[in-house]
Chain A
Amino acid sequence: MTEMVYGTVPVVSVDPIIPRWWRTVDKWTLTCVFVLFGIGLLLGLASSPPLASKNGLEPFHYVMRQGFFGGLALATMLVVSMMSPQLVRRLAVIGFVCAFVAVALLPIFGTDFGKGATRWYSLGFASLQPSEFLKPGFVVVTAWLLAASQDIGGPPGKTYSFVLTVMICAMLALQPDFGQACLVLFAWGVMYFVGGAPMLLLIGIAGLVVMAGSFAYSNSEHFARRIDGFLSPDVDPTTQLGYASTAIREGGLFGVGVGEGQVKWSLPDAHTDFIIAVAAEEYGLICVLAILALYTTIVVRSLMRLMKERDPFIRLAGTGLACAFGVQAMINMGVAVRLLPAKGMTLPFVSYGGSSLIAGGIAVGMLLAFTRTRPQGEMEDVLMRRIGR
């Protein structure tokens, strides 16, 4: 009777959300992220007490905060990873617009915390770095534009996305935050590359980056000093880099022991940019290699899964997110071993920092959402390709 009056209850043709999520999500990547966060907390226990005591706080103040924000970030990540790609795209575009406006307004409302670069909004209890949130949104928007341009009669997405990239890079470079600017440029480049960039153009862009770098070198004191520090063969041991190298050497294979490290007392950024030095000193090469393996697994696995992806948008967005994540980790560790010039960049999920954690959570959540197993109609493809020939 009820059905006759109200019509039949629409049959839910798909599984409940959680089981489906569990079945399709990349569990390896998920595990790696959790382990990384655990390592981050462990290193925070070692690296942040000096800072806390310097600021007159209880010793594990920063660890508690890290735990709180980490929990928040992991929750965000799980929620985001459960969304469908379409929903992710919609939310990301809205988020991107907000973050873009926030970054644009930084010169007016932002603070520099005496570090020489206006990158933060001070919210009283915490500070917010909008450029961290801009990155995942930017990747999704760019992927969307690039994918749309692949449709017949689609918009000129490549041009639009490039203009957008240049605008964002300019804004970041004005802060100045060359690290994030490079990261954004790199993410765009990778997506463009996977989206089918002509080889000649790629070479041209590489040349352009070199030129922009030398321009920044000759015009920005801040930038030039870091490059010089990198190029000089003898590192001055009283600089951050010098302390980091010394710490890695002290650590050796198995480290000097938990809590025995010295570098955290000398380095102001021991809990953020140079946390890998703390890891190397206290837990040794083993720990560092483990961290490296985790990052490699996340990045390479995600890329391999995306290879099977048929939808160009998902493929591009996933690539951008995975590469931005991987490169950020790579640059951070490359600086500590002096393979790369000093650049203020956090180690995702390991370094201390609320914005960085939550933004990382969002980004990896999106990545997980994009790398979920989906029916890809492989048989159909094969058949179609045969017909095409």
Chain B
Amino acid sequence: MIRTPLRPLARVLEARDNGDDPALIEAENKRLRHEAMRDKARLRAEGRLLVLGAMFFCAFMTIGIRMGALASSEPEEPRAAVAGNPIIGQRSDIVDRNGRILATNLETHSLYAHPQDMVDPEFAAAELAHIFPELDEEKLLANFTGDRKFLWIRKQISPEQLQAVHDIGSPGLLFGPREMRLYPNGPIAAHILGGASYGREGVASAEVIGVAGVERFFDAYLRDPANEGAPLELSIDLTVQAASEQVLAGGMSIMNAKGATSVLMNIDTGEIISMVSLPDFDPNNRPPVLTTGDQSDSPLFNRAVQGVYELGSVFKIFTIAQAMDLNLVNPETLIDTTGPLTWGRFKIRDFRNYGPELTTTDIIVKSSNVGTARIANMIGADRQREFLNSLGFLEPTTVEMVEAPTGKPLLPRNWSEISTMTISYGHGLSSSPLHLAAGYASLLNGGTRVQPTLLRQDTVQTGDRVVREAVSTRSRDMLRQVVERGTASFGEVAGYKVGGKTGTADKPRERGGGYYDDKVIATFASVFPADDPQYVLIVTLDEPVESSGDEPRRTAGWTAVPVAAEMIRRVAPLLGMRPEVETLEPIGVTLTSN
């Protein structure tokens, strides 16, 4: 390559020699260089302009093609889409232990409005107010003619309402698919299931979220698409639950109680077969939460889990069992029962005077406060506390409901000797009926701890040992005798060998200051069959009065026990238990085949 020098030095020198002006030559050179540069720039610009022109042509072509593609596609129904992650509509079903449906989903429609698309807002508003009487026509019209572009009218409508709204014929009234949670059994197992409502709502779908009970506790599981719609299996037996509710409702009205609860629990697995709290509600139409007054008066209140009560003499068996486990007494040991037992300024009395001495078994059978308190004294506060803790009475239950932590037992602030004595017969410590069921199950199943559960289990729980197996057996025998010859004689159900313990506790006044004279919590804690225990049943009535006799009777033996007996009579066959009737000797005739 030959480089062209920037300045024509040769010519400049020559011009100098000739005496010419070299500046002219320089200027000429500069002009030439400039021309050359411009030519180069112009050539380059020509190419680049061509590129630009082609690019613009292509861009406009693209827009044209795209416009053509768009124009030839079908227009969509205008529908407000939800940005972000879609709402997963399908919520898993909840089924009972036999696969019968407790909660499922139903396709319905929601109704919303696009006021700007309405042709005749006055007519639409009038017709809507006619179809949905609870809507206010003037308010609707104000919304339809105002600035609003979107308006929910109803979140759920029935097929009939859908048709009626459709017949209005307004293009501004639109329907969206909507899944609702349906509880086909109505109020049966209402407290367990809880209920559901809508979370995030879109036009195309809405999120169903649990608000209480297992629906809330297992909300994440029920909504998890990874389960592929596998239902949640509860330990509840729908038939037993229905029968229990029916019997309990009847008992509650006969005994004039203001509330009632029952817990039926498998003694080995801890599965809750039925759990009833009355009054109840329909989870399809949950009543509003009380804003004033005592929440325990609301039908939403689950007495079995949330309600903590001083449950009375049903606790005596724990004291006696612990004393036997510690070898302090045996069933035949005689205990001094002369009353009243005075401790400081407190006096402990029995319902009746049972004489100077009773055997340990008879203390349970006759339900002697004095005798139990004496035995508790032998045990001492620390050991009693530890024992009740091992049975789960000091902590909220771990049952799978969001309400469980609110059922926290109320304990004495100072576990003194007098507390020890009152707790031994079930006063001074408040716990829920579910606690009691778990405690009885743990004591009577051979002596290992059982945690209550609402999920179907296939295996027996193997918890920590609470008492020796022999103590468990002896406790069962005592409870059986209570029914056979003691305070719970109405509890006998032919063929099922019911054992149990009554408890009648005076209700404490609301603002402290002692107990009511005429309001009790009557409880019957039972186990059946007593020789090979399978189920524990707790029935608790709130303020029952049995008034068939001369004077009103409130003790559990007259109130809770007959209700529990009727319940066992109804549910034991449903649970597949065969009554043990005394087999007669075959009478002379021998049946032969072939």
- Chain A 225-255 interface mask (CB, 8 Å, partner B; 1/0): 0001000101111100010011011111100
- Which of B53, B60, B67, B150 is in CB contact (< 8 Å) with A330? B60
Is there an interface contact between B116 and A266, defined as CB atoms closer than 8 Å?
yes
Check if B81 is an interface residue, CB within 8 A of chain A: yes
Known: A249-B74, A280-B67, A337-B70. A196 touches B30 (CB 8 A): no
Is there an interface contact between B83 and A194, defined as CB atoms closer than 8 Å?
no
Check if B36 is an interface residue, CB within 8 A of chain A: yes
Is there an interface contact between B62 and A339, defined as CB atoms closer than 8 Å?
yes
> Which B residues lie within 8 Å of A5 (CB)?
none
Q: How large is the interface on B (under 10, 10 to 19, 20 to 34, 35 or more residues)?
A: 35 or more
Is there an interface contact between B70 and A151, defined as CB atoms closer than 8 Å?
no
B387 CB → nearest A CB, Å: 63
> Which B residues lie within 8 Å of A166 (CB)?
none
Q: How far is the CA of A249 from the CA of B78 in the complex (A)?
A: 12
Is there an interface contact between A292 and B81, defined as CB atoms closer than 8 Å?
no
- Chain A 146-164 interface mask (CB, 8 Å, partner B; 1/0): 0000111000000000000
Check if B63 is an interface residue, CB within 8 A of chain A: yes
> Which B residues lie within 8 Å of A14 (CB)?
none
- Which of B41, B63, B71, B149 is in CB contact (< 8 Å) with A238? B149
Check if B570 is an interface residue, CB within 8 A of chain A: no
Known: A246-B76, A285-B68, A388-B35. A303 touches B56 (CB 8 A): yes
Known: A292-B60, A292-B63, A292-B64. A323 touches B52 (CB 8 A): yes
> Which B residues lie within 8 Å of A242 (CB)?
78
Q: How far is the CA of A237 from the CA of B46 in the complex (A)?
A: 45
- Chain B 143-159 interface mask (CB, 8 Å, partner A; 1/0): 00000011000000000
Q: How far is the CA of A156 from the CA of B53 in the complex (A)?
A: 28
Interface of B is mostly: helix
Q: How far is the CA of A235 from the CA of B32 in the complex (A)?
A: 61
Is there an interface contact between B83 and A150, defined as CB atoms closer than 8 Å?
no
Is there an interface contact between B71 and A253, defined as CB atoms closer than 8 Å?
yes
Check if B343 is an interface residue, CB within 8 A of chain A: no
Nearest residue in B to A316 (C-beta to C-beta)? Answer: B45
Nearest residue in A to B31 (C-beta to C-beta)? Answer: A152
> Which B residues lie within 8 Å of A266 (CB)?
116
Known: A232-B83, A337-B66. A295 touches B60 (CB 8 A): yes
Check if A288 is an interface residue, CB within 8 A of chain B: yes
Interface of A is mostly: helix
Q: How far is the CA of A9 from the CA of B577 in the complex (A)?
A: 135
B57 CB → nearest A CB, Å: 6
Nearest residue in B to A247 (C-beta to C-beta)? Answer: B75
Is there an interface contact between B45 and A196, defined as CB atoms closer than 8 Å?
yes
Is there an interface contact between A150 and B71, defined as CB atoms closer than 8 Å?
no
Is there an interface contact between B39 and A385, defined as CB atoms closer than 8 Å?
yes
Is there an interface contact between B49 and A288, defined as CB atoms closer than 8 Å?
no
> Which B residues lie within 8 Å of A248 (CB)?
67, 70-71
> Which A residues lie within 8 Å of B32 (CB)?
388
Q: How far is the CA of A147 from the CA of B52 in the complex (A)?
A: 19
> Which B residues lie within 8 Å of A388 (CB)?
32, 35-36, 39
> Which A residues lie within 8 Å of B72 (CB)?
252-253, 285
Check if A95 is an interface residue, CB within 8 A of chain B: no
Q: Which of A58-66, A100-108, A208-216, A306-314 contacts B (4 or more CB under 8 A)?
A: A306-314
> Which A residues lie within 8 Å of B64 (CB)?
288-289, 292
Q: How far is the CA of A242 from the CA of B75 in the complex (A)?
A: 11
Q: How far is the CA of A299 from the CA of B54 in the complex (A)?
A: 10
Nearest residue in A to B48 (C-beta to C-beta)? Answer: A194
- Which of B42, B46, B50, B56 is in CB contact (< 8 Å) with A326? B56
Known: A196-B45, A238-B78, A248-B71. A319 touches B52 (CB 8 A): yes
Q: How far is the CA of A338 from the CA of B78 in the complex (A)?
A: 17
Known: A245-B70, A334-B63. A300 touches B53 (CB 8 A): yes
Residues of A that sit less than 8 Å from B by CB = 150-152, 190, 193-196, 228, 232, 234-238, 242, 245-246, 248-253, 265-266, 280, 284-285, 288-289, 292, 295-296, 299-300, 303-304, 306-307, 310, 312, 315, 319, 323, 326, 330, 333-334, 337-339, 381, 384-385, 388
Q: List 29 A-B contacts (CB under 8 A).
A: A150-B41, A193-B48, A196-B41, A234-B81, A235-B81, A236-B83, A237-B78, A237-B80, A238-B149, A242-B78, A246-B75, A246-B78, A248-B71, A249-B70, A249-B73, A252-B71, A299-B56, A299-B60, A303-B50, A307-B46, A310-B42, A315-B49, A319-B52, A326-B60, A330-B59, A330-B60, A333-B67, A337-B66, A337-B67
Q: 19 extra interchain contacts, Cβ-Cβ under 8 A, other than A195-B45, A333-B67, A334-B59? A: A150-B37, A151-B34, A194-B48, A236-B80, A246-B75, A249-B73, A249-B75, A250-B75, A251-B71, A252-B72, A285-B67, A292-B67, A296-B60, A303-B52, A306-B49, A312-B42, A326-B56, A337-B70, A385-B39
The 5 closest A-B pairs by CB, nearest first: A249-B75, A237-B78, A303-B53, A337-B66, A285-B71
